[in-house]
Amino acid sequence: MSKSFGFDTLGLHAGYTPDDRHGSRAVPIHQTTSYMFNDTEHAAALYNLEVGGHLYTRISNPTIGVLENRMAALEEGVAAVAVATGMSAVFLSILALTSQGDHIVASSQMYGGNINLLEHTMSRFGVTTSFVDPTDHDAIAAAIKPNTKMVFGEVIGNPGLDVMDVSAVAKVAHAAGVPLVIDATLNTPYLMKPLKHGANIVIHSLTKWIGGHGIAMGGVIVDGGNFDWGQNDRFPTLTQPHFAFQGVNLWEEFGPAAFAMRVRSEGMYNIGPTLSPTNAFHILQGIETLGMRMDRHMANTAELVAFLKNHDGVAWVNHPSLPDHSCHDVAMRQMPKGAGSIVTMGIKGGRMASQAFIESVELASHLANVGDARTLVIHPGSTTHSHISADAMKAAGLTDDLIRISVGLEDINDIKADFNRAIKIAQKKTSAKGS
Amino acid sequence: MQISINDADVFVSTGGRVADEHAPVLLFLHGSGQTHLSWLLQARFFANRGWSVMAPDFPGHGLSGGAPLTAIETMADWCHTLIMAAGHKKVTVIGHSQGGLVAMELARRHPEYVAGIGLISLALAIPVNPQLISMAEDNEPAAFDAMVTWGHGHDGAFHDHPMPGNSHIFMGKRIMASNPEGTLAVDLKACAAYADGEQAAASITQPAMVILAGDDSMTPCKQGEALAAAIPHAELVKIEHAGHMLPIERGDDVNRALRRLFEQTGA
């Protein structure tokens, strides 16, 4: 039998071998805080990173470990660390590379939570960020300073839906000796694997398409193992003696997995945003069908975009698959299977009409999430992105009337009927108020 | 630690510890296209149990400078130089795959420096498919893919790693890709050209152990058993449900066996 496996096979099998004692075919939920040591030597060895295994669930857990191995396999990374949420994955990634006085170059067109973390939280601890347009490669190059530790962005910006040319930005970052860290939540490894395009670290909110059922929070950091942390003294957290583990030099002792080891050996030890094993199990159920679900998400998205584009009541529609989208060519080259299932639009009549639309849908759900099996709608300007500044909103491509749609897996005719009805109601309400 | 050998900087992993000068010395030798990271689960383990660990990157591999060495015999002499440069008089040498050929040749050429020998995933010879060498010469990723996918057993192929979150397959590919272009081809040609396995095996008088993987498709068990039979008094250890990358696939089992050898060698 071949030993190389396709995406769907890895989604079902990677990271798990049924154990001899019970033979459980499904991944068991190891709902435990801690693990029996064989003897004192075994305990000491686990605490000192000498052997594989688990010592305390804050650090690692067998069920979470399967999820980590499966995500590493799907993203083609050398190692992964799963955490409680996507935001904690972003935070631990920053923590692994930066110290007081360091600097980050980040996309100005990102999820509001990412922008807030960088602008308002990290800055309080002396880590500053320059926000730049991710499609302006000269601006990225110009923003990198000697103390810059990463370039950070999203493949598909949320909710502006700009698409980063990952290969081009990776070249810019690498020329300056800096890794490219990518939040790939909106594309999933099924649509695009950023590591294959030159990115070095990939982050996901597992809560979204990867889990897919809207029942479990989670995040993951995948280490591409493709960045030379030892090329100079820029990354002391990886190349100088660790504060613990007898001063281990992670770059020398763990090589390509040094970054992931830092995340686990500091982020999970000292901060501890641990994923619950039960949530890891739920997310694994989602991964088992990720490929098939993404195909359906893409098919429904294509049909809905065409429907909205031709609808009289719709002022504008935005999706990277549309030929007039500014990043259309990049999107098609990087993501030939589809450019994600987030669509944004405005209803004729402006913000009031858009709000009326959201309040009128019946099948779609009005809530703060994306990537659910169900179709979701929200007005980001008053919700998910309401805490960022007006300038940041503008930079993120957030207009007053913008509705964000996360296209689900329902029968597409039912989604279209629901939207058609809600658009008509919204316009009636708006014209009634306007008359 | 860094040591200069033949005007090239050589990186030697000590398992994160500097042992005292009286500690018995273990010299771990990696295989084709690999680095000291093959010994991820051995270096720190033994370094923290009273042994002095030396796991070098051969020239042109990993963190070592210089050009890759082109013959097993040259590699063995290089190891001898390394042992002397480090100020040691005797080591127990443990070799994985190509590193095992080097270990045997070191024991044959410089027996006074070898207290014992551990050979993992090895046969009397390592013939290499010319097509694989050709792909490696062209630095085709397919060469790394072939080495890594065929180098692992079931669990490794399915990314089930003893260290939580790690992937055998992609770690293996990255390690190979991180070496300078052509390194793997030089190693494979050195393996293919080495024809003195039987003589080297027969000359081993030190305590010896051969550790084989039940599902090894690169140096199949049957050929490994012939190697063990050719070494006087060698102990044969067979570990089931594992592939060629045995030290990383079954670290605990390998360490348990090696410890028994080290107790015999007094190392």
| CB contact A81 to B (< 8 Å) | yes
List, edge to edge, every strand of the sheet that includes A365-366.
Answer: A314-318, A342-347, A403-406, A376-378, A365-366
Count the alpha carbons within 13 Å of A418 in the hemisphere toward its beta carbon. 23
Strands A201-205 and A219-223: antiparallel
pLDDT of residue A433 exceeding 90 = no
DSSP sequence for A1-16:
--S---HHHHHHHTT-
How far is the alpha carbon of B158 from chain A, nearest alpha carbon, in Å? Answer: 5
Q: CB distance B167–A82 less than 8 Å?
A: no
Query: In A, which residues are within 8 Å of B48 by CB distance?
Result: 44-45, 48, 50, 246
Q: CB distance A51–B161 less than 8 Å?
A: no
Contact (CB, 8 A) for A300 and A373: no
How far is the alpha carbon of B196 from chain A, nearest alpha carbon, in Å? Answer: 32
Nearest to A81 by CA among A28, A183, A180, A89: A89
- At A215 the three-state DSSP class reads coil
CA A343, A346, A348, A352 torsion-angle sign: positive
User: CA nearest A60 in B: which residue?
Assistant: B164
Q: Is B148 left (phi over 0), alpha (psi -120 to 50) or beta?
A: alpha
Q: CB distance A249–B16 less than 8 Å?
A: yes
What are A345's strand-pairing partners?
Answer: A317, A403
List all residues 6 or more positions away from A98 whose beta carbon is below 8 Å from its beta carbon. Answer: A104, A122, A127, A149, A150
- Report which residue type is found at A322: L
Q: CB distance A68–B251 less than 8 Å?
A: no
Question: Which of A80-84, A263-267, B167-171 is the least confident region?
Answer: B167-171
User: 109-138 in A: which are within 8 Å (CB) of B?
Assistant: none
The distance of Cα B101 from the centroid of its chain, to the nearest Å, equals: 9
Tell the residue number behind the tokens 């085709």, with chain if given. B140
Question: Which of A60-74, A349-363, A388-402 is the least confident region?
Answer: A388-402
The minimal CB distance from A65 to the residues B37, B152, B165 is found for B165
Interface test with chain B among A10, A30, A66, A253, by most B beta carbons within 10 Å: A253
CATH of domain B2-127+194-265: 3.40.50.1820
pLDDT given for residue A391 in this prediction? 75
Q: How many residues does chain B have?
A: 267
Q: CB distance A72–B170 less than 8 Å?
A: yes
Q: What is the pLDDT of residues B234-254, one digit of tens each?
A: 999 999 999 999 999 999 999
Task: Report residue A435 as tokens.
Answer: 């008359």
List all residues 6 or more positions away from B45 whose beta carbon is below 8 Å from its beta carbon. Answer: A45, A50, A51, B15, B251, B255
Mean pLDDT value of segment A30-36: 97
Query: In B, which residues are within 8 Å of A249 by CB distance?
Result: 16
Query: In A, which residues are within 8 Å of B35 by CB distance?
Result: 255
Query: In B, which residues are within 8 Å of A50 by CB distance?
Result: 41, 44-45, 48
Q: CB distance B170–A54 less than 8 Å?
A: no
- Location of each CATH 3.90.1150.10 domain in chain A: 291-434
Helix axes A412-434, A350-360, angle to 10 degrees: 130
Q: What is the pLDDT of residues A237-261, one digit of tens each?
A: 999 999 988 889 999 999 999 999 9
CB atoms within 10 A of CB A55: 15
| CB contact A10 to B (< 8 Å) | yes
Domain A7-286 sits in CATH 3.30.2130.10: no
Q: pLDDT-derived band of residue A353, with 50, 70 and 90 as boundaries? A: very high
Q: Report domain extents, chain B.
A: 2-127+194-265
How far is the alpha carbon of A385 from chain B, nearest alpha carbon, in Å? Answer: 33
Contact (CB, 8 A) for B116 and B265: yes
Query: In B, which residues are within 8 Å of A72 by CB distance?
Result: 159, 165-167, 170
Strands A342-347 and A314-318: antiparallel
When the pLDDT of each residue in chain A is averaged and rounded to a whole number, the result is 94
Q: CB distance A10–B159 less than 8 Å?
A: yes
Q: CB distance A77–B170 less than 8 Å?
A: yes
Q: CB distance B41–A248 less than 8 Å?
A: no
Q: What is the pLDDT of residues A120-157, one digit of tens each?
A: 999 999 999 999 999 999 999 999 999 999 999 999 99
User: How does DSSP classify residue A210?
Assistant: T
Contact (CB, 8 A) for A396 and A385: yes
The minimal CB distance from B251 to the residues A52, A77, A230 is found for A52
Contact (CB, 8 A) for A235 and A99: no
The helix or strand, by DSSP H or E, that contains position B231, with its residue range, turns out to be none
Query: In B, which residues are within 8 Å of A16 by CB distance?
Result: 158, 160
Q: CB distance A45–B45 less than 8 Å?
A: yes
Query: In A, which residues are within 8 Å of B16 by CB distance?
Result: 245-249, 252-253
ipTM above 0.85, yes or no: yes
Query: In B, which residues are within 8 Å of A253 by CB distance?
Result: 13, 15-16, 40, 43-44
Q: CB distance B160–A72 less than 8 Å?
A: no
Mean pLDDT value of segment B168-188: 94
Q: pLDDT-derived band of residue A435, with 50, 70 and 90 as boundaries? A: very low
pLDDT given for residue B99 in this prediction? 98
pLDDT given for residue B158 in this prediction? 87
Q: CB distance B16–A254 less than 8 Å?
A: no
Mean pLDDT value of segment A197-209: 98
Chain A / chain B CB contacts < 8 angstroms: 141
Mean pLDDT value of segment A361-379: 95
- Location of each CATH 3.40.640.10 domain in chain A: 7-286
The minimal CB distance from B170 to the residues A41, A78, A230 is found for A78
At residue A218's C-alpha, the angle toward residues A216 and A224, to 5°, is: 145
List all residues 6 or more positions away from B42 whose beta carbon is below 8 Å from its beta carbon. Answer: B15, B28, B53, B55, B94, B247, B251, B254, B255, B258
pLDDT given for residue A434 in this prediction? 56
pLDDT given for residue B3 in this prediction? 94
C-alpha Rg value of chain B to the nearest Å: 17
User: 18-47 in B: which are within 8 Å (CB) of A?
Assistant: 35, 37, 40-41, 43-45
pLDDT of residue B265 exceeding 90 = no
Question: Which of A130-134, A177-181, B147-151 is the least confident region?
Answer: B147-151
Tell the residue number behind the tokens 């597992």, with chain if given. A206
pLDDT of residue A393 exceeding 90 = no
pLDDT given for residue B203 in this prediction? 96
List, edge to edge, every strand of the sheet that includes A103-107.
Answer: A79-83, A219-223, A201-205, A180-183, A148-154, A103-107, A128-132
What are B239's strand-pairing partners?
Answer: B213
Alpha carbon distance A232, A242 (integer Å): 17
Mean pLDDT value of segment B144-168: 89
Q: CB distance A69–B154 less than 8 Å?
A: no
Alpha helices in B37-138 (DSSP H): 40-47, 72-85, 98-109, 130-137
Q: CB distance B169–A230 less than 8 Å?
A: no
CATH homologous superfamily for the domain A291-434: Aspartate Aminotransferase, domain 1 (3.90.1150.10)
Query: In B, which residues are within 8 Å of A78 by CB distance?
Result: 166-167, 170-171, 174
| CB contact B9 to A (< 8 Å) | no
User: CA nearest B167 in A: which residue?
Assistant: A78
DSSP sequence for A305-361:
HHHHHT-TTEEEEE-TTSTTSTTHHHHHHH-TT-S-SEEEEEETTHHHHHHHHHHH-
pLDDT of residue A396 exceeding 90 = no
pLDDT given for residue B267 in this prediction? 58
Q: CB distance B178–A76 less than 8 Å?
A: no
